[in-house]
Structure 1
Amino acid sequence: MPASTAPATDWLDDFYNADSDQLWVTADQGSRFAKEIAGDHNPLHDAESSRFCVPGDLLFALIVRRYGLARHFALSFRGMLRAGTRLSFPSQPAQAFTIADENDRDTVEVQYDRPVTTDPAALLVLIEAYVASSGETFPDRLGPLLAEAGVMFNPQRPFLVYDGMALDIQRAPGTDVRVTPADASLAVNGKRADVQFDYRIADGDGALGEASKRMVVSGLRPYDAEAMTAVIAAYHARRAR
């Protein structure tokens, strides 16, 4: 059984649609979540983009809200999820399960080990705290990693996608959860780079656990400081709109 039951109404209700065990996200909902909740201004999350994909952080939020927390909770995304794609959520989650789309294609692989009964209000606080930290990967954390590795993405067609995440907690959280950045690493493999960002999780009672986020950066080319400066300036301008 799920480890917690979400309240009938909460702020996440604005960012998805549901019909029985099926759920879907419109481009407008996904874009607003990325910008308003996660602070993520990746062009792939612009509602009008032909390459639009549903933010991975929104999928994380909806899965955790549906099933609750576990001592070990991990997601692996199987490609980019397009707007309006209906997802089927299993009614009884196992230790490992998948979420499939309307054509029975697996979109998310989930590991859900040792459920933790959690107060619904605390659950939403943890979701929001994690998403807010996760959305701050570019340029503050990713930029220095790219510069150190001597590579960058195509500034005319940036492609940075969320590959997966893991969350490990020791106990149920309180309603004062804090998620703070920890280590970060980048490994170049040809024209792509695999990136991992780590986080520490705590509340008023002390250390609670840790999390990690995996991303893929594609279309790598030699680092160009002038071009990257322009990309970062354009990104900040998008944030200020």
Structure 2
Amino acid sequence: MSTSVASGSEPLSAFHHQDGDRLWVDADQGSRFAKQVAGDHNPLHDVKAPRFCVPGDLLFALITHRYGLSQRFALSFRGMLRAGTPLVFPPRSGSEFAIAGDDGREYVHVTHDTPLPSDEAARLALIRAYVGCSGETFPDRLCPLLAEAGVMFNPQRPFLVYDSMALDLERAPGIDVAVNPQDASLTVSGKRADVRFDYRIEDGEGVIGHAAKWMVVSGLRAYDDEAMAEVIDAYHARRRE
């Protein structure tokens, strides 16, 4: 059962804790956002996962809601963010800035060039549409790419994470915005694959921009139809839980 990002004065308050400019996400909040909002059932987002990481889609949502939209908006993730790690959201200064922990370690590098005035309803509509695409990533879009390349991840220890995200917008969207899948590609380098998913962004008045998400798949091995079928069946079972 999916859950929308709520409207109102604090639409993302259910998915993070905040104290001034410091913000953190606990495992339950991150897991609920991944599964109920983004439709992403990656085992790394299970509450009890040993390598639990805060979903990149949730960081995208929090950053977009905090800083607004811009013509060029890109996030580059600097490693996995563990549950409960406080982040400092600095005042926006210039077109590039970092979101770091209390110890100064950078977790997200942000490019936010040429702000686009928009109301909260439009920002939330774009967030919902953009993060919702993650529900189509596996197995729908990723598995055909892996099969074509003849590789797959370790089914016992799957490691698939977002590396970066980017949006290019000509104008702010309306509340009827949609993010539609376009091309996808995969490049293998040793035991790692870099995957790119492209999207078209449009609303009732036409195309307003494009977006992309880059993913890293690690621990590659030779593709095995039977093993992948078992992984896909198990994933669909997780969706039904």
TM-score range, shorter chain: over 0.9
- Return the letter of the residue paired with 1:228: M
Tell me, in whole angstroms, the C-alpha distance in 2 between the residues paired with 1:240 and 1:7. Answer: 29
> How far, CA to CA, are the matches of 2:105 and 2:8 in structure 1?
30
Q: How does the TM-score come out when normalised to structure 1? A: 0.96
* Greater alpha carbon shift after TM alignment, 59-68 vs 93-102: 93-102
Q: CA-atom RMSD, angstroms?
A: 1.0
TM-score, with length taken from structure 2:
0.96
Give yes or no for the alignment of 1:200 onto 2:200: yes
Write out per-residue CA displacement over residues 123-165 of structure 1, whole angstroms, 9 at most, x where no aligned residue.
1010001000133200000000000000000001000011000
Secondary structure in 2 aligned to 1:136? helix
Percent of pairs identical after alignment? Answer: 67
Q: Indicate the residue corresponding to 2:231 in structure 1.
A: 231
CA contact (8 A) 1:67 1:93 kept: no
After superposition, the C-alpha distances for 1:76-124 in whole angstroms (9 at most, x for unaligned) are: 0000000000000112242010000111100000000000000110110
Q: Which runs of 4+ in 1 moved over 6 A?
A: none
User: What is the alpha-carbon distance in structure 1 between the residues aligned to residue 35 and residue 8 of structure 2?
Assistant: 24
What does 1:176-195 correspond to in 2, within 5 Å? 176-195=176-195
Q: Distance in 2 between matches of 1:181 and 1:90?
A: 32
- Equivalent AA in structure 2 for residue 25 of structure 1: V
| Letter aligned with residue 83 of structure 2 | A
Residues 185 and 196 in structure 1, CA contact (< 8 A), matched pair in contact too: yes
Task: Give the corresponding residue for 1:3.
Answer: none
Residues 37-78 of structure 1: CA distance to partner in whole angstroms, max 9, x if unpaired? 000000000011111000000000000000000000000000
Whole-angstrom CA distance in 1 between matches of 2:199 and 2:227: 29
Do residues 9 (structure 1) and 10 (structure 2) align? yes
Q: State the secondary structure of the residue aligned to 1:217.
A: strand
- Aligned residues of 1:72 and 1:169 also touching (Cα < 8 A): yes
* Corresponding residue number in structure 2 for 1:165: 165
d(CA) in 2 for partners of 1:39, 1:211: 18
Separation of aligned partners in 2, 1:41 and 1:114: 34
Which amino acid in 2 is paired with 1:69?
Answer: L
Distance in 2 (CA, whole Å) between partners of 1:222 and 1:104 is 40
Runs of 5+ consecutive residues of structure 1 not aligned to the other structure = 1-5
Correspondence 1:58 to 2:61: no
Maintained 8 Å contact 1:38/1:136: no
**SS of equivalent to 1:114:** strand
Alignment partners' CA distance in 2, 1:134 and 1:171: 23
Give the drift of 1:7: 5.4
Aligned residues: 235
Give the conservation status (yes or no) of the 8 Å contact 1:134–1:213.
Answer: no
- Rounded Cα–Cα distance in structure 1 between residues aligned with 2:99 and 2:19: 15
Q: Which amino acid aligns with 2:104?
A: D
Native 8 Å contact 1:194 1:214 kept in 2: yes
